[in-house]
Amino acid sequence: MLTLEWNMDDALQARFDEGHDVAMDSVVRNMLRSGMTFDKIQELTQLSFEHIQDIKNTLTK
């Protein structure tokens, strides 16, 4: 049997985290469009090279 307990604080935190991720990806897209280097984006955002590359790949689609 699966027991699932609803926790409003956890739900709100998850919603915030998801919104933060979407906003950060948008900022990275703008950084890439402006010609900022991967190294500088990593330094400023603390995101992985792979994540930044994934975002860059969405720009070329």
What's the pLDDT at 2?
A: 61
What's the pLDDT at 51?
A: 94
- Using one digit for the tens of pLDDT, what is the confidence trace for 9-60? 887 777 766 777 888 999 999 999 999 999 999 999 999 999 999 999 998 7
Q: Is 33 helix (H, G, I), strand (E, B) or coil?
A: helix
What's the pLDDT at 50?
A: 95
Beta carbons within 8 Å of 28's beta carbon, 6+ residues apart: 41, 45, 47, 52, 55
| Cα distance between residue 2 and residue 15, in whole Å | 23
Q: Which of 24, 26, 28, 21 is nearest to 53 (CA)?
A: 28
Q: Which of 20, 51, 26 is nearest to 38 (CA)?
A: 51
What's the pLDDT at 1?
A: 56
What's the pLDDT at 7?
A: 80
